[in-house]
Amino acid sequence: MENYINSKNNNNFTESFLNLFNNLYNIIESMSMHQKLAYLHISGSFIILLSLFSILTIFYGDYLIIKLNLENKYPKLTKFIKLRRKFQQYYILLDVIISIIILLIIIYINIILYF
């Protein structure tokens, strides 16, 4: 990891990244089936938490923009705020879809293992 962070040129960076990826792959391959499933569940749960955090920041970010009256205080930010509000619904929809897909995958795997 230290070599990956401290790499200076692109060749060394690419090589370090590939080594890091291969090391992670080797660690996952050496796990038992139960450890792989636990890794999958933890990764899925982490992605769902990130999606929920993203949804919360969307709602509370808009709340703070309204509460602090940023559109009127900083007119140069108005274009950015309007663009943010325009894409806000897509971000929420994308986060909800990602969460639902991951939950369905986890439920499917658990059902397959149970029966």
Q: What is the pTM of this model?
A: 0.71
Is the sign of the CA dihedral 99, 102, 108, 113 positive or negative?
A: negative
Percentage of the chain surpassing pLDDT 70? 89
pLDDT exceeds cutoff 70 at 4 = no
Residue spans of the domains in the chain: they are: 1-30, 33-114
Looking at residue 89, what is its pLDDT?
87
The closest of 51, 52, 28 to 40, measured between CA atoms, is: 28
Tokens 């291969």 — which residue?
Answer: 22
